[in-house]
Structure 1
Amino acid sequence: MKKTLLLTFIIGFVLTSCQEEQSGFEITANIKGLSENAKVVLSETESQKILDSAFVKNDSFKFKGYLDNTPIEISIVILPTDNNGQAKYTSIFMGNEIIEITGLSEEFSSNLKIRGSEFNKLKIDLAEKSKPANAEYDQNFEKMISIRKDGNWNDSLQNAYWGKNGIFDNIDNQLLKIKKEFVEKNLNTHFGLRQLYRLREDVPNEYLKSQFQKVKPDLKNTEYAKSLQIYLDSEPLKENDAFYNFKAENQNGEIVEFANYFNDNRYVLLEFYSPHCGWCKMALPEIKELAESKKDSLKVITFNVDKDKNDWLKTNKSNNISWESLWDENGRYSETFVKYRVAGTPTYYLFDNKGKIVKKWTGFDKKTTVENIKQRIK
């Protein structure tokens, strides 16, 4: 009897282990022409969080792991082996699947054969449809750079390339049309719904609403659908508008309310930040100096937009963050992120001591961003 129970336990354990192992992802790549021992980095595209790294051996590399909240887009970057080389980049929209990648080194960014992912087929389809317009964009961009280098740039050319109905505006309109047609055809898929969400700043709300009404119930519970609903239910914030209130966890493990930061006469700077964002890292010393030099008139509040809690806490500690740092488990799909219309990191909102928006900045400029913030603090 004991032997039977033991055998049953062992079999159950083995089967469970196998199921858990199979539930993860595996990426196997064989790319002819890769540099031996080149480092390959696997990361989440949106958050830039590094998932794993490997080294090229005999034109091959391999990753194995588990993805939360699938499907998501992951990036694979092959770093150059010398200072003169260029990184190679590709991405896959995938779940916990068995992926096989083959191709040539020179085709790494655009023409690899990626097998095994049902989710990625639509991504490839959209890329193929967009390829002619993207090629036209690249050709014109190179031509523009050449003209600038030759010193022949003028206002007329500026308008011809960048003005309304100019070269790049027309190409952007072509791409927008392609994306809309793709969304309308593939709306009730994870990738189609993701593309609709990514179009939110490029199309009228009426279009978003009309498409969102067609989303099937089984997809309404996805992050993309929930975020779209929040987006459609909220208005974009403008200067002199009152803040959107929200709750989040601070680095001490406390659930705090944003409204409570307006409890004295100080201004509040709300920074949307990612530990993996290069511009955020560049801004950090400047924000530290700002927080210290203006501590009597300004509170700095950082909102981490990524989901990894341990990564957030580790970053706070390694960067010696002395001000309040906030986190939401939903990351870039949180109500806060969506309502504040964060298009990228860093994004800054400056509020006066009554909670009214003074100014919003997207991105960071070492020469102007912090100086502009200081000038607006009375």
Structure 2
Amino acid sequence: MKKPYYLILLILISLFSCKRNNGVTIKGDIRGLKSKWVYYKPVFPQMVRPSDSAKVTDGKFEFNFQSDTAFFANLVSISYLDEKGLRKPIVVANPYEPAKNHSRYTDFVLGPGLTTITGDFSKNTGAILNGGTQTDFYLRNITLPFIQMSEDSAVRNKQAARVERIIKRVPDAYWTLYAFNNLRFYFNQKELKSFYAMFGNEAKSSYYGRRLKLFIDNQPLSQNQFVNSIFADQEAKPVTLIDNTKKLNMVIFWASWCGPCRREIPSLRRITEQFSKDDVRFVSVSLDAKKENWLQALKKENMSWQQLIIPQQEYVKAQAKYNLSLIPKIYLVNNKNVIVKKIDGFDDGNEDRVKTFIADYLSKN
């Protein structure tokens, strides 16, 4: 008698499922760890309580996780309570660096399978982390998110080639995707699309993979083109960012919590007072998450020009549209929505540079 087809199907599904690694195990063995419990927590979102705990016996502890889908790597930390009841992280040393200058980290990348943490608190050298591909990749490429892309084209091309090699080596590396949270601002849409295509499907479907795709989809096709969005003013009325009837638009991205942004405001006042509103449209755009903080800052700073705020649901898209890697950021945009000058950050000399540029531009146009 032939077996029903559904039994064969169940067997095939079972065999396929066994190949997928859904389990995560962390085993710790740390001498001198006197805490009764250790606490596991994903690093993001921040400022939340640990999501799991494990009992410590003679310095040994173990965490076991089993998910319904394949576990994709994550940035995590493990902490304990010291003798005074203060929460402290278990610090991890990097074995791929010389012993005399081991860098030590409170967070680490946890991948599927078994990860071990061993150490001796009495030696104060940091615990040793051993895990799978994701963990090993993290430790070997720890500085990847902090690459400062050069303005020199030859050097920049070499840096980009290095990033490409790293992606191709481990297409599903969490740490590379995490690094692109910083690196994405250095590349145009064409370059980012090329990098994104190199990642594996699991990486693309992860949190940072989806976030990178959203950023790419909202980047302007040309880095010289300024996207003319509609944001809200103090009365929540929609206002177009660029006034195309003016010869020039000066757009300032800032936030109430940004110290350099607040220090720049006096010079912005002087700039706006010098030029006719018939020729130049001035607008400041806030990145504040809380509207009340923005409104409070407006009352204190008394800025007479147009003030807008980015709705929080549009913030991630705005980061891509205006490349908001840092603030304050000033864009000078003509009436065809073309960026004619950009100034990143705050400097005492910015005021004179902006005044000179606007005066010269208006005299020629």
TM bucket (normalised to shorter chain) is 0.5 to 0.7
Aligned mate of 1:71, from 44, 53, 56: 44
Query: Which position in structure 2 is the counterpart of 1:350?
Result: 332
Q: CA deviation at 1:366?
A: 2.0
User: Does the aligned pair in 2 maintain the 1:305–1:337 contact within 8 Å?
Assistant: no
1:220-241 deviations in Å (ceiling 9; x for gaps): 995444223223xx31332xx5
Query: Which position in structure 2 is the counterpart of 1:111?
Result: 104
The answer to whether residue 111 in structure 2 is matched with residue 130 in structure 1 is: no
Aligned pairs for 1:251-266 (under 5 A) are 251-259=234-242, 261-262=243-244, 264-265=245-246
Q: CA deviation at 1:295?
A: 4.1
The one-letter code of the counterpart of 2:141 is S
1:156-199 deviations in Å (ceiling 9; x for gaps): xxxxx997777x997x568636753587232xx5x654433433
* Whole-angstrom CA distance in 1 between matches of 2:357 and 2:327: 17
* Whole-angstrom CA distance in 2 between matches of 1:227 and 1:169: 22
Structure-2 change in CA distance of 1:116 and 1:267 (3 Å): closer
* Whole-angstrom CA distance in 1 between matches of 2:315 and 2:199: 17
Structure-2 change in CA distance of 1:229 and 1:278 (3 Å): same
Structure-2 change in CA distance of 1:321 and 1:132 (3 Å): closer
* Whole-angstrom CA distance in 1 between matches of 2:321 and 2:76: 27
* Whole-angstrom CA distance in 1 between matches of 2:152 and 2:249: 37
Aligned to 2:281, what secondary structure does the other structure show? Answer: strand
The one-letter code of the counterpart of 2:44 is P
The answer to whether residue 120 in structure 2 is matched with residue 101 in structure 1 is: no
Aligned identity (percent) is 17
User: Does the aligned pair in 2 maintain the 1:272–1:347 contact within 8 Å?
Assistant: yes
* Whole-angstrom CA distance in 2 between matches of 1:124 and 1:73: 21
* Whole-angstrom CA distance in 2 between matches of 1:133 and 1:217: 21
The one-letter code of the counterpart of 2:223 is L
Query: Which position in structure 2 is the counterpart of 1:361?
Result: 343
Structure-2 change in CA distance of 1:237 and 1:255 (3 Å): same
Aligned pairs for 1:1-378 (under 5 A) are 71-72=44-45, 100-102=88-90, 110-114=103-107, 128-130=139-141, 172=159, 176=163, 180=167, 184-186=171-173, 192-200=176-184, 201-202=186-187, 204-211=191-198, 214=201, 215-217=203-205, 219=207, 223-231=211-219, 234-238=220-224, 241=225, 243-259=226-242, 261-262=243-244, 264-265=245-246, 267-296=248-277, 297-330=279-312, 333-353=315-335, 355-368=337-350, 369-378=353-362
Structure-2 change in CA distance of 1:312 and 1:193 (3 Å): farther
Structure-2 change in CA distance of 1:213 and 1:114 (3 Å): closer
User: Does the aligned pair in 2 maintain the 1:267–1:352 contact within 8 Å?
Assistant: yes
Structure-2 change in CA distance of 1:236 and 1:343 (3 Å): farther
Aligned to 1:360, what secondary structure does the other structure show? Answer: strand
The one-letter code of the counterpart of 1:207 is S
Number of residues of Structure 1 aligned to a counterpart in Structure 2: 253
1:21-64 deviations in Å (ceiling 9; x for gaps): xxxxxxxxxxxxxxxxxxxxxxxxxxxxxxxxxxxxxxxxxxxx
Structure-2 change in CA distance of 1:211 and 1:134 (3 Å): closer
Structure-2 change in CA distance of 1:162 and 1:373 (3 Å): closer
* Whole-angstrom CA distance in 2 between matches of 1:348 and 1:134: 25
* Whole-angstrom CA distance in 2 between matches of 1:162 and 1:353: 28
* Whole-angstrom CA distance in 1 between matches of 2:135 and 2:285: 34
Aligned to 1:199, what secondary structure does the other structure show? Answer: helix
Structure-2 change in CA distance of 1:124 and 1:340 (3 Å): same
Structure-2 change in CA distance of 1:361 and 1:282 (3 Å): same
Q: CA deviation at 1:283?
A: 1.9
User: Does the aligned pair in 2 maintain the 1:344–1:363 contact within 8 Å?
Assistant: yes
TM-score normalised over the length of structure 1: 0.51
Gaps of 5+ in 2: 1-41, 48-73, 81-86, 93-101, 112-128
TM-score normalised over the length of structure 2: 0.52
Structure-2 change in CA distance of 1:323 and 1:311 (3 Å): same
Q: Which 4+ residue blocks in structure 1 deviate beyond 6 angstroms?
A: 115-118, 121-126, 132-135, 161-166
User: Does the aligned pair in 1 maintain the 2:246–2:281 contact within 8 Å?
Assistant: no
User: Does the aligned pair in 2 maintain the 1:72–1:94 contact within 8 Å?
Assistant: no
Q: Which has the larger radius of gyration?
A: 2
User: Does the aligned pair in 2 maintain the 1:287–1:370 contact within 8 Å?
Assistant: no
